[in-house]
Structures are given as structure tokens and as C-alpha cells.
Amino acid sequence: MKINIYYGGRGIIDDPTLYVVSQITTVLQELNVKVQQYNLYEQRNGITALPNTLKDADGVILASTVEWYGVGGYMMQFLDACWLYGDKDRIKEIYMAPVVMSTTHGEREGMMSLAAAWEMLGGLPCEGMCGFIADTTRFENSTEYSKIIEKKTENIYRTINQKMAVFPASNQAVINKVAVAKGIELTPQESEQLSEYASDDNYVRTQKEDLQELASIFRDKMGQDEKARGSSEEYVKILEKKFTPVAGVRSKYKIVFQDNPKLKPVIIDVDNGKCDCRTGDEEGCDVVITSDERVFEDILDGRMSFQRAFMAGNFKMKGEFKLLRCMDQLFDLMVE
């Protein structure tokens, strides 16, 4: 059995959580458990890669200290990384015991927030431990407190070793609804770089202005009428003409025009080498794109790709991002 301990405190000498973690480690090692401890403050530059360490763990202990409010930033960064990059199927099999010590107040709230977060990730929470420690020296020298830590650690070991059943929680239902929004398959480094650009209002505004200027230049050169085509059937004909079969792709797309309710939605039903494009409002689509008519025409005319239009915020999308990326492969629209 292997248990990973993720310590989210600052590593200061009189941190009571460090003492509790050391006691837990001693008890688990006596029970022939392999214990691996990760100090998040030491790996703050690589926290986004730590979810990979969960793959060979039977259980984890999330340990942190409430110094003024909440469990601290390092622990929240780790949980964010688990949500964005963690293997949800693997996390579903991992038990987690929260350990939260407080030097002020809020230890119970901290323990409950860690348990709730792990449930939202799909994991299995088990009984942890929390406490208010006013005097660290007295705490460390108390045999009674040591016995409490030992007993609770044995309960954690028993729960993980016997794979005890856990009541389902409503928090676990969140991952089935909210996790759909996470479809962007980027590396942690690419995601951080993208977030830096997205948070820069000047950069985003400049990019949108550049795209609009380029679109105007292309329209002038190609001598296109500024009026929209105004026909969903014409869009269907263009998509059918530009379709390029891609093996292994089976998905159903729906494109809705938010600025022109009179236009019927376009349905694109792809089954390996076959593509059925039609108009109508249908349910059960894998990807739903909500776009302005002009933005969609820009895509059809090869001025931008589906992926670039989404990343620039020119349309909204529900579904898996990888299926949206497939559309740029399925339809040869880009101008050489």
C-alpha cells in the first residue's frame, strides 16, 4: 500500500501540522505502508505537475494549516491542478484523509472544504483530523494527543486497506456537470501561458482589433457583399462540398446563429467517412456552437479556423474541445 502526503503549509518550525504529519508517517510506516511526502511550498513552481504523482497511490492525506483564513494558497493550487490536469478516473479510486490544524480558528471549516473538494474531484473521502493548537510545545509533549493521532491514523489505514464503502455525496455529481467545461487539452505550461494572455486586457483588445482589421482587408480584396448570405441551406452546401473524411471521428454538431433567429440551425452529423449536413433544431448534439452569422461566414471563407474563433472569444461552445478541433480537419476551409 502507498499513501501520499501533500503538505500545504509554509514549513515554519512551529507549524503543528508538521508534527501531526510526522506522527502519521511513523504510524503508517510501522504498518508497512510506503509513505511519500510532498511539500508544496518546496515545489510551488511545479505544482501543476503533481497530479501525476496520484497514479500509483492507494490513498492521500491533504495536510494544511489555517493561519488566518482558509487552508492556504499552495493547497488550493494543488487542488486546482487536480481539477484541470488530474486523471479523474484514477482519482475516483483514491481515498483522501484531510488533516487541518489551526493556530487561530477555522480548522473544522478547513477540513470540510478539503473533503468537499475531493468529493467534487470524484474521490473518496475518509475520516481525517483537525484541531486548534494554541501552544505547539505543549501539543508535541502531550501523550494524550499522540494517542489520538495514532488512533485516527489507524482508522485511516483501515479505511484504505479494506476499501470501505463510502456514502455517495451530492458534491460528486458536480464533476458530471461542470467538468464538461474543461475540454481544452493543453499542457500545464501552455495553459498557464494562455491564462497570462487572457488576463491581459490590452493584449485581448489588440488581438480582437487586429482580427477585425484583417477581416475587413480580406472582404475588400475579395469584393464580397457586406450582406450576409442569409441561407442556412447555402451553408449546408458549402460544408458538404468542403468535407474531408477523417477516420475515427463520430460526432454530431449544431451551429446556432444568435444574431439572426430566423436562420435555422445547421446540423453536421459525422460518421467516419460520411457527413450528413442539414438544417433544423435537434437535441443530443455532442458540440453546440453559438455564433454570429458574420463570424461563421468568416470561417467558411477561410479567414479563421473554428479553433481560432473560439480561442478569440468570437463564439461560444458547449461540448468537448477536441471535437471542435476536429472540425478544422473535417472541413477544408482555410485559404492557402
Q: Specify the 3-state DSSP secondary structure of 69.
A: coil
Q: What is the pLDDT of residue 183?
A: 45
CA count, 13 A, side-chain hemisphere, 61 = 35
Cell 468535407 sits on residue: 243
Q: What is the pLDDT of residue 130?
A: 95
Q: Specify the 3-state DSSP secondary structure of 247.
A: coil
Task: Output phi, psi for 265, to 5 deg.
Answer: -60, 150
Cell 475518509 sits on residue: 126
Cell 503533481 sits on residue: 50
Task: Output phi, psi for 305, to 5 deg.
Answer: -90, 165
Cβ proximity of 279 and 264 under 8 Å: yes
Burial of 98 (0-12, 13-18, 19+ CB in 10 A): buried
DSSP letter (8 states) at residue 134? S
pTM equals 0.55
C-alpha 226 chain-centroid distance: 40
One-letter amino acid at 152 equals K
Q: What is the pLDDT of residue 211?
A: 77
User: Domains in the chain and their CATH numbers?
Assistant: 2-180 (3.40.50.360), 188-330 (3.30.1050.10)
Cβ proximity of 102 and 132 under 8 Å: yes
Averages of pLDDT over runs of 10 residues in the chain (336 residues) are 94 91 95 95 90 94 93 93 91 95 92 93 92 90 93 95 84 58 54 59 72 71 50 89 87 91 91 90 92 89 86 86 86 69
CB-based contacts of 63, cutoff 8 Å, min separation 6: 5, 6, 7, 8, 9, 17, 20, 21, 98, 99, 100
